[in-house]
Every structure is written in C-alpha cells, then in structure tokens.
Amino acid sequence: MDQPTDADTRRPTPPSFWKALLYWLKLGCISFGGPAGQIAMMHEELVERRRWISEQRFLHALNYCMLLPGPEAQQLATYIGWLLHRRWGGLVAGALFVLPSLLLLMVLSWLYMRFGSTPAVAAALYGIKPAVTAIVLAAAHRIGGRALKNTPLRLIALAAFVAIFALDLPFPLIVLGAAVIGYLGGRWAPASFSLGGGHASAHQAQHAPALIDDDTPTPTHARFSWGGFARVLLAGLALWALALGGLVALQGWDGPLTQMAWFFTKAALLTFGGAYAVLPYVYQGAVEHFHWLSATQMMDGLALGESTPGPLIMVVSFVGFVGGWGQSLYGPDALLAAGVAGAVVVTFFTFLPSFVFIFLGGPFIESTHGKLQFTAPLTGITAAVVGVILNLALFFAWHVLWPAGWQGPFEWPAAVIGLAALVALIRFKTGVMTVVGAALLAGLALQWLR
C-alpha cells in the first residue's frame, strides 16, 4: 500500500475567488453528459483532486439539491460556490454553469431558424432525433432501475404513465399526487419509501483532509438565522417581481415575453426529477397552448440541447428563442433580437428559483449534517417521474418513426439509428456526446446515399 505523502495529509490552501471562478467557467464549458455526468465531474475535481470539500459534505449538499425542483447539478455547483465564497461565489458558480450553454444555444438556435431547412442541417437532425429518443428511453431505464425498488413504487410509476398517456392529466397534478402518496407511504410503510442511496457512500474510514471537511465548522456566512432567511426571500421575490413587472410595463400581461416569464416561473417550480420530467409540461404549454413552436421544433430543440454543455433544462432557452423569433416581437427586421430576448427571459425566470432555494435553505441544511428528513414525498415523485419519462419517450418515438402520422410511411432508417443508440447507451455505457455525434454522422451519410 502506498504511503500518504505530505501533500495528502495537509489541508488544501483555500482557493481565491478568481481561481474558483476559472474552475466554474471550465465546468460550464465541459459539463456534458447530463446531471449524473456533471455531478461525477464535480466529485472527481472538487472532492478527489482539489479537496475543496469532503465526500460527506459533498453528498450532504447533493441530497438537499435532489429534494429541490430544478437542475440538481447546477444547484450543487451554486451550493459549493456559496460555501467557499459566500453569495457572490454561489452566484458565479451557478451562473457560469449555465452561461456557456446559453450563448452556444443562442448561436445554434439562430443557425436553426436561419438555415434549418437546408439539406445538411435537416440530415443531421434526422440522425440526431432517434438518438435523442434513445437517450430518453435510457434515462427511464436508468432512473427506473435505481428508483423502482419495490412494488408500491412500481405501481406509482405505472399510475403516472397512465395518468399522462391515457388520461392526459397535467404534469403538476401528477407531481402533487405522487408527493401525497409518498408522504402517506412514508408514514404507513417507511421501509418502502425510504430514499435509497443512489450515490456512493458518504462514509470513508480514512480520507485526506479537505478544505471543508466532515468536522469543519459551518462558516459564519452559512449559519442559519431567521433574519438572513427573510432577507434572501424578500430579495428573491423582489428581483422576480421587478423583472416580471418590467415586462408587464413594456408589453402588458398578455405580451409574449410576459407570458414566457410567468409560464417558465411555474415550470421552474415543477422540475422535480430533472429536465426529462418537466418536458411534458413544457410541451403542453409551449406547443399546444401558446403555440410558441411546433412539435417538430420542440424535438429539434431537445436534439440541440443534448449536444451542448450545461443542464438539459437549457432546452427552454431554445423554446424562448424560437418563440421570440416566431412572434416577431420587434418586427420582421429584428428577428435575432427577438429570439435573444426570448432566450434570455426564459433562462432568467427558469434559473432564478434555483439560486433562491440554495441561499434560503443552504444555512439550514448546513446545520443538519446527516439528518435530512422528509424524503418520502421525493421518493414518490421520483417513481412517478419514471412513468412520465416513458411517456415522453413514446411521444418522441411516434414523431420520429411516423413523422406524417400513423397513416404515413415508417422511417426504418431512423428506427435503426435509434435502436443502435439505445444499445450503445444501455449495453456498452457509451457517452451521450459520442452517441449524438455518431447519429449526426449517420444522418449525413443517409443523405449522401440517397
């Protein structure tokens, strides 16, 4: 056994604010692979290599982020940034997790709206779409394998699938019902509704000292007080109200940007279980109710979202861009400005609650090391999410394999690409970016052969 070096036994030097900023910027540029991959990247870098935070404190923060609506990887980055460098550190960490993806998606969205009908772009999307369907199916398989540990949870997943597929019930109602069932199940059958340890064990018999270690006292700025809680809550509500009020003053309540702000505020509070779970709700609102974009454009947006770094929920930025462009907010000569405005508004109102949740609840969570409770509702919601994701996968498959409807031709090349992608993801554990890249090349090759 290797002997520990002096460097292993010394506590790391606290990173400067700017050194941490450079790390968060790097993470925002390379955070491919969905929440599991993003969390793994942070664990490897922050826990194992830099030792800015211990395994136990890292997982304690992650458990809290898993309980929240919103992208847990972005919230975890915000939490750790806040622990290290107060609220400015959290703001920088969370914002840089999103900003590179937003800028890249706006560029891709412009290219899509400007040149999306060209043969090369159409061929690339033809290959990517079935791969996205496979990615969603793989997500249902992965989450289901971890979450559906017993018969009651499987029944919740089945009920959620029937509720959204056959009964067309709204997603918020399904989430609420699953939370109530989880709460009651936690009281009547706690063994069935205990939150499983889906991540590595937090216990380590020996580990090199970390900057924020298991026994490190809570920093002064992270201690809970009702005064601090009230200030954060009021600041968050005021920022939201000022932004929404500004849009109302400019466009009125029925203006497209105002409606986007209000709709995506609600969506941000319903993203339990990750982006795949809330996408049906976004589809219902953005495609069927407001008509900001078409079903095909929604599929294309998800394909682009899978191809960029950052949380998958960033697909809402594409929705905002296409919605702003399609509504010609500033006239036919300013479509790009309209698209950018839509993307920025949607992104702001989607991620604002995540920052507020971290700054509100973080101090309380820091006072409860290893004592987080009330997880049974989350267990019920997570089970329901599996059924919702399966419904989403079937929806995508229908649009990919029968784009002209059931009476139209079956797209067997797309079926082959999708099946190959599914096998690569589940059987060979191939990375998402590799699968998407291979599918893109397959789409281009099909165009060349035709």
- Reported as a single tens digit per residue, the pLDDT across 263-296 is 999 988 876 656 666 777 888 889 988 999 988 8
Residues 234-249 have a mean pLDDT of 97
Q: Does pLDDT of 162 surpass 90? A: yes
301 contacts 319 by C-beta, under 8 angstroms:
yes
User: Quick one: what percent of the chain has pLDDT higher than 70?
Assistant: 88
Instruction: Pick the more confident residue, 403 or 326.
Output: 326
Which candidate, 104, 29, 102, 121, places its Cα nearest to that of 342?
A: 102
pLDDT of residue 196: 47
> Is pLDDT at 205 greater than 50 in this prediction?
no
Give Cα separations from 399 to 39, 115, 130, 162 (angstroms): 32, 22, 10, 20
Over residues 189-199, the pLDDT tens digits come to: 888 886 544 34
Strand partners, 53: 212
Phi, psi (deg, nearest 5) at residue 384: -65, -35
* Residue with the larger pLDDT of the pair 150 and 64: 150
The set of residues, in sequence order, having a beta carbon less than 8 Å from that of 259 and lying 6+ positions away, is 253, 290
Residue 207: per-residue pLDDT: 66
Rg of the chain over all Cα atoms, to the nearest angstrom: 22
| 202 confidence band (pLDDT: 50, 70, 90) | very low
Of 27-36, 109-118, 191-200, least confident by mean pLDDT is: 191-200
User: Structure pTM?
Assistant: 0.72
Residue linked to tokens 């998606």: 105
Nearest residue to 143 (alpha-carbon basis) of 302, 402, 421, 378 = 378
Please give the average per-residue pLDDT across 110-128, as a whole number: 79
Whether the CA torsion 431, 81, 84, 79 is positive or negative: it is: negative
Mean pLDDT taken over the chain: 84
The reported pLDDT for the residue numbered 301 is 85
